[in-house]
Every structure is written in C-alpha cells, then in structure tokens.
C-alpha cells in the first residue's frame, strides 16, 4: 500500500475488518477471523502490497469500496453517473473519516465532477454482521444522473470460488443454485418492482468443501424491497468482486443541485462453521437489530386464516362456524382473508374500495371481530393497499392515481393495476382507510399483500417511479406502525415475492410461499432459513389436497413440516375428520409447548446423504433441549435412512433422545423391528450424537419424524450403561 497509507480496523465478536487507503476510496483488505489486538496495521497493510504484473498498468491497487477506472480498475465500477455529456467519469479523493457507532464513515469527493460520496461501514460487536451503506450528493448546479451506486463492494477471500444464489417462481421460492464463479462478469437484475420470486437480493460465497456445518463462507443481502442488481466479477488478476445495489429505471438516480441519494443497507457476514454458522449470525442480527415486535416477550400466536376454507364466499354462518372450530383446535389469532370488502365477489373487482361489503357484512366487520375476541383470539385482516381493480369506485373517481406510461398500454396483472404511492393524495387515502379499519374493528394484525409486478411504472409526470414506490411504501408502513404501535403486519407478495430486511424492519412476519403443499414447503423453508429466523416464517398446515399442486398429504406430515416456523392453519376446519381434527389440535399444543425453542434457539438445517430427506433442528441457548424434524419428501434412494449427525448439543452432556411425533407410515415401514427411540428412548452424550450420529427408522415417501433431545442433568454416562 505504500508508506503513506492510512488504515483502521473494526472488530466484532470473532471477526475483523481492516481498511486501508492513501488518497482515494479505502479498500477492505481483510474480512475474516478476528486478528490479534496488538497487530501493527501499518505492517499488515504493507504485507498486502500488490505486485504489478506484465502488460498491465503501472499501478495495481486493491479493489476499493468504490472501484473506479481513474485508479486503474477496469472491471465493473462502483459508481456510474454523468452530468449531461460531461462529468461521465472521474476520481474520488479522500476527504476525511469520522467514527460512527460500531464503525467508520469514509468521506470522499470529486471536485471537478462536483459530487461528494460517503461510505458507512458498521460491524456489529454482538452479531458479527457488517453493514455497508453509501451516499452521493450533487454539489453542482446542474442535475447529476447517478445511474449506479453500489451499497458496498466486497472482495472475498480467494478460497471462496463458488456462489450460492436463490431462484424460483411462484409456489417454488428460495430454490438454491450452487455453482463455480466463472471468469468475467455475471450480472443478475430484478425489474419486477418487488423483491421477486425468482431473484432474491442475496447470495453466499463458499469454498468447494463448505457444507452446512463446516467450512468458510460469506453471505451478503441487500435490505431493499424493489428492483436490484447483483454483480459478481472474476477478474483476470484472480480477484473476485461482489456489488449489490438498487437498479434504477431511466432517470431515477437523477439528483438536483444539493440532492442526496442514500443506498439501502448491505448486510454481510462470514462464517468458518459452514452455512449454519452463517445463518446463526444473520438470525441473531434480525432478532437484535431489525425485528420490533410490539411485545417482545409475547409468543408467536397460532393463526387460522380463512382463505383456503372460504375463498371469496363470506357469510356469517360459515365464518362463525370457522371461528368456533379455530377455538377448538387452540388457535390464538383469526385472520379474515380476501373477499370482505365492497364488490369483492372474485378477483376482478373491489381492490381500492376498503370498506366492508354491505351484502356480506351489513353491520360492518365489528360483529365478526367481536365474536373472534369473545372466543379468545385476536382479529386480523387481509389487505392489498398498493393495488386497485379497474372495476372499483376508487379508479372510476381517480383514473390518474395509477402507475402508467401514456400513451403505452397499461398492463393488468390478476385483473389489477398499481396505485402510485409517490402521489401524496393516494397515500393519504390509504392511510385514512386503514386507520379507520384498524380503529373501528380493533384489528391486531394486517396481512399486507402485493400480488403483481410493476410494468412501465411511471408517475403522474411520466417519470420512472419504481424506486420511489418502494420508499413511499416504507414511509406508509412507518406511519401506520407509529400510529398503531400494537399492530403486527405480515409481508406477503403472492407468497415470497417481497422478502428482505428492508421490509422486515417495518413488518413482523413473512408469507414465504402461496404453496401449502408440505412437500414443496420443505424446500421453500430450507432456502428461506439461510437469512431469516423461524419466528418470521409463516408456516401453515394446509388442507389435505393442495389447490396449487393437486397433491394429497397425510395430516401429521403437513403438521410436522409446518412445525418449525410461525404456525398457522389454512384449511376448512369444519370439514375435517375427527382423526385429522385431533392431529391438528395435537400439533397446535406441541407448537405452543416448543415455540420458544424454535423462535429463540439456534436453528440448523440438517444435511443428509439423501437429497430427498430434509431436516431442521433447534437447540436451546443453554443446550439443555433440542428438537429435529426430518422430512422425507420423495421415495428414499436407499432402503435404510442415512445416519444423521446432531449438531449444536453440549458435547459433555447426556441427552435422552425420543420420538415425539411421526407419521403413521413410519411405524409400519420396518419389519420385525422395535425402534429403540420409542418409549423411554436412547441416552447418549452430545459428542456421540454429533460425531457418530443417529440411526433413523426406515422412511417412506412423504413421511416425517420429530425427535426430541432432553439433557439429563446431574447424571453420568455410567449410570445408563
């Protein structure tokens, strides 16, 4: 770096960041295991001095937090912008640093281009998650078009040669794809106006040997609920750079004189303990820094949602019977889904007219809300405030309130258009409607849906407004939360179409997928869990036959798959057989007993030799309790199940291992076999369970098993031999 280099370090629980710079943007020289406190940073920076290769420029600087061509970097830049035909590139120089909470702010400027850039870097000392955020200010008199500014630039260790990305579609969200990072530039862009089902704004870099419980990995997630870009570039030098930021539509980054654009936060964590170790850091950060429950000590209540029981057909008899049935199985929150508002006989009309339908609810929603509360449950309501049907009074009165780009066609999605949230009148109308509903009906919970992508999202002036749509949504949610501090909100977007830390700062729960098919849900929940803890994962027991897949599944199987998240039921409880009603009641009782373990403990994805055998585990913080759900989604490859290691238990403690629940098919899968896990169970040390693993019963396709691990205190191994 040269003798004039400046440097600094940030330390977390077991992580160190080292930055170094001369006269320009700093480089993140090191992001890894915590370094000795007595380390000489000047000597360390000198040790990272880069040689100049043949046939290259005379300077070979490390990739900075804002890579730029003016300093010899010829890859994808961290900032792109121009002022008409001028100021199309330049050189940022260091203008000072400032200490900020758990971090440092780097202040940069480009005098000729008349712009100032700051990059904030935090390292949380408790969770080990680093947070990066950049800002740009136009200091000139003419407008400056900043069409790209990365929230931060990461340069992972050379050993991280693979990328895990997240893809999917409706009803198949959070599919993981692991592949080698290819030479050259890979760019993933999402233009759907929401996080999307097919392009989650996050990725994980790993070494080829990294698995769930061992090996090095680095995760990055952009806390932004709209259009985004992910850049992965493997350079000829062997370096890899990663950038994440907002993807602007034409002109959205245009800054007037004195105007500032601030990027969303980029959350970064690293682990030497595999993907589970990485998830533990992200989960800790969500729990400590992002989630704001009205009552932090309140357990996540069991939900009954009306959608798959009633759809649009609402009447008092059916609803009251469903409330009665919900109480019988132990529900704690009753959510009235789509179909309650004016003109809503199907999905072709009514959106925007947020008033109870007089034919279905002649005296409003309050009688139903009161009846729900009389039966010991909270009352929740489904809304989709950002949308409007062409067949609505709202759009007839205000045809200019939608996002569009005349004279081009305005495309509908699910028979609906998108309201322009950058219009203050629209937001005032929505806030008034929602406030009245919440106040008049004592609503404790909103299921906030968003069921279509944005296409040609122009505002009333014709300017691109996809980015403003997201920030305006945040402002509306913040206003509602401030006005109704006891309200909880679920983020839903045709399932998992809007899942990220930006929306999570303003909500309390996600609906990861519209699929209630437990086979599909097992994969969705696994992908979701890399960045999000189980208490924010809506996991419902659906009907026997899934309307999105046509598959029929056993009630116990459906209940066990849903048991590791925030439990709900989305089925017609009135028509259940007595056996299935008992199964659901038992599942609810089990969830209430164990939810603190899943929602406060360490969460693990269980890695097995059979790709059709999925598993999730939770271990209490004191390591005295644990549970593991094993889910066989398809016919096993082998006649015997693989031996499964149990991670996270205390090595020197004794545990009694028992089967808490299982599908009926498991009891009949083996001939002439008395399962030692039944009845009193097995007693083994934590170290044995982790290193030698556990022999499992024979699995059939679509069968599942719940194991419990309970520490035996004040006893020795010998007393059980």
For the annotated catalytic residues, the residue numbers are 449, 514
Burial of 658 from C-beta contacts in 10 A (0-12 / 13-18 / 19+): middle
Q: Are the C-beta atoms of residues 680 and 710 closer than 8 Å to each other? A: no
Q: Which string of DSSP letters, residue by residue, matches 283-332?
A: HHHIIIII---SSTTS----EEESHHHHTT---HHHHHHHHHHHHHHT-S
**Cβ neighbours of 450 (radius 10 Å):** 23
User: Cα–Cα distances in Å, from 352 out to 116, 336, 372, 457?
Assistant: 42, 17, 25, 18
Upstream peptide bond of 407 is cis (omega within 30 degrees of 0): yes
**Cβ neighbours of 700 (radius 10 Å):** 15
Q: Are the C-beta atoms of residues 515 and 307 closer than 8 Å to each other? A: no
State how far the Cα of 11 lies from the Cα of 487, in Å rounded to an integer: 37
Burial of 186 from C-beta contacts in 10 A (0-12 / 13-18 / 19+): middle
**Cβ neighbours of 685 (radius 10 Å):** 18
Question: Alpha carbon 502 to chain centroid distance?
Answer: 9
Bridge partners for 117 per DSSP: 108, 136
575 CB contacts (<8 Å, ≥6 apart)? Answer: none
Torsion angles phi and psi, residue 127, rounded to 5? -105, -15
Q: Each residue of 21-58: b (16+ CB within 10 Å) or e?
A: bbebbbbbbbbbeebeeeeebeebbeeeeeeeeeeeee
Biggest CA-to-CA distance, the chain: 85
547 CB contacts (<8 Å, ≥6 apart)? Answer: 308
**Cβ neighbours of 639 (radius 10 Å):** 8
State how far the Cα of 35 lies from the Cα of 12, in Å rounded to an integer: 10
HSE, side-chain direction, 13 A CA sphere, residue 511: 28
With both helix axes pointing from N to C terminus, report the angle between 466-483 and 424-441 in degrees, rounded to the nearest 10. 30
Dihedral (C-alpha) 190, 250, 266, 160: value to the nearest 10 degrees? 60
State how far the Cα of 716 lies from the Cα of 721, in Å rounded to an integer: 9
Beta strands 254-255 and 387-388, pairing class: unpaired
Q: Are the C-beta atoms of residues 66 and 263 closer than 8 Å to each other? A: no
Tokens linked to 569: 């039921």
Q: Are the C-beta atoms of residues 168 and 198 closer than 8 Å to each other? A: yes
Bridge partners for 103 per DSSP: 100, 122
State how far the Cα of 96 lies from the Cα of 511, in Å rounded to an integer: 44
State how far the Cα of 106 lies from the Cα of 134, in Å rounded to an integer: 9
CA angle 317, 322, 327 (to 5 degrees): 130
**Cβ neighbours of 645 (radius 10 Å):** 16
């Amino acid at each position: 770096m040269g003798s004039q280099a400046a440097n600094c370090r940030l330390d977390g629980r077991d992580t160190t960041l080292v930055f170094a710079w001369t006269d320009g943007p700093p480089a993140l020289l090191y992001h890894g295991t915590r370094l000795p406190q007595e380390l000489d940073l000047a000597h360390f920076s000198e040790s990272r001095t880069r040689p100049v290769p043949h046939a290259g420029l005379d300077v070979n600087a490390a990739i900075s937090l804002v890579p730029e061509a003016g300093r010899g970097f010829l890859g994808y830049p961290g900032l792109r912008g121009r002022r008409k035909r001028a100021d199309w590139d330049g050189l940022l120089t260091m203008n000072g640093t400032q200490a900020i909470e758990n971090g440092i702010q780097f202040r940069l400027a480009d005098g000729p281009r008349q712009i100032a850039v700051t990059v904030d870097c935090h390292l949380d000392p408790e969770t080990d998650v680093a947070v990066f955020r950049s800002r740009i200010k136009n200091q000139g008199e003419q407008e400056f078009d900043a069409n790209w500014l990365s929230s931060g630039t990461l340069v992972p260790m050379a050993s991280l040669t693979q990328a895990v990305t997240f893809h999917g579609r409706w009803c198949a969200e959070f599919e993981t794809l692991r592949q080698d990072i290819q030479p050259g530039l890979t760019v993933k862009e999402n233009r759907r106006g929401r996080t999307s089902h097919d392009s989650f704004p996050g990725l994980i870099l790993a070494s080829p040997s990294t698995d769930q419980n061992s090996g090095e990995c680095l995760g990055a997630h952009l806390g932004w609920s709209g259009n985004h870009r992910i850049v992965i570039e493997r350079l000829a030098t062997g370096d890899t750079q990663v950038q994440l930021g907002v993807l602007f539509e034409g002109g959205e980054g245009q800054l007037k004189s004195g105007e500032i654009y601030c990027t969303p936060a980029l959350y970064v964590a690293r682990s030497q303990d595999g993907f589970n170790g990485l998830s533990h850091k992200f989960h800790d950060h969500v729990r400590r820094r992002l989630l704001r429950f009205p009552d932090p000590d309140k357990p996540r209540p069991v939900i009954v949602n009306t959608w798959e029981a009633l759809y649009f057909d609402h009447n008092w008899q059916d609803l009251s019977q469903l409330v009665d049935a919900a109480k019988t199985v132990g529900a704690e929150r009753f959510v009235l889904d789509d179909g309650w508002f004016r003109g809503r006989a199907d999905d072709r009309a009514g959106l925007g007219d947020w008033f109870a339908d007089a034919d279905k609810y002649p005296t409003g929603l309050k009688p139903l809300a009161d009846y729900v509360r009389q039966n010991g449950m909270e009352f929740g309501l489904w809304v989709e405030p950002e949308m409007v049907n062409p067949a609505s009074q709202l759009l007839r009165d205000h045809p200019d309130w939608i996002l569009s780009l005349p004279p081009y066609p305005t495309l509908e999605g699910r028979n609906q258009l998108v309201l322009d949230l950058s219009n203050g009148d629209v937001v005032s109308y929505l806030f008034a409607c929602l406030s009245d509903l919440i106040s008049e009906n004592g609503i404790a919970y909103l299921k906030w849906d968003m069921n279509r992508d944005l296409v040609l999202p122009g505002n009333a002036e014709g300017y691109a407004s996809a980015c403003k749509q997201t920030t305006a949504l945040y402002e509306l949610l913040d206003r509602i939360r401030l006005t109704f501090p006891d309200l909880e909100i679920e983020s839903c977007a045709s399932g998992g179409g809007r899942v990220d830390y930006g929306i999570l700062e303003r909500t309390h729960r996600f609906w990861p997928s519209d699929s209630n098919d437990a086979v599909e849900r097992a994969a969705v929940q696994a992908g979701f869990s890399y960045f999000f803890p189980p208490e924010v994962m809506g996991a419902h027991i659906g009907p026997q036959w899934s309307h999105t897949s046509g598959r029929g599944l056993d009630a116990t199987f459906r209940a066990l798959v849903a048991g590791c998240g925030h439990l709900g039921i989305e089925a017609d409880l009135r028509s259940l057989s007595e056996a299935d009603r008992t199964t659901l009641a038992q599942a609810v009782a089990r969830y209430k007993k164990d939810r603190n373990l899943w929602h406060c403990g360490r969460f693990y994805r269980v890695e097995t030799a059979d790709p059709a055998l999925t598993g999730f585990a939770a271990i209490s913080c004191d390591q005295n309790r644990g549970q593991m759900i094993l889910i066989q989604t398809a016919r096993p490859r082998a006649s015997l199940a693989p031996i499964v290691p149990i991670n996270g238990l205390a090595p020197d403690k004794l545990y009694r291992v028992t089967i808490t629940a299982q599908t009926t098919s498991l009891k009949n899968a083996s001939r002439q076999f008395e399962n030692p896990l039944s009845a009193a169970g097995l007693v083994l040390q934590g170290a044995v369970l982790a290193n030698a693993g556990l022999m499992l019963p024979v699995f059939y396709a679509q069968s599942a098993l719940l194991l419990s691990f309970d520490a035996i205190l004040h006893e020795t191994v010998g007393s059980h031999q």
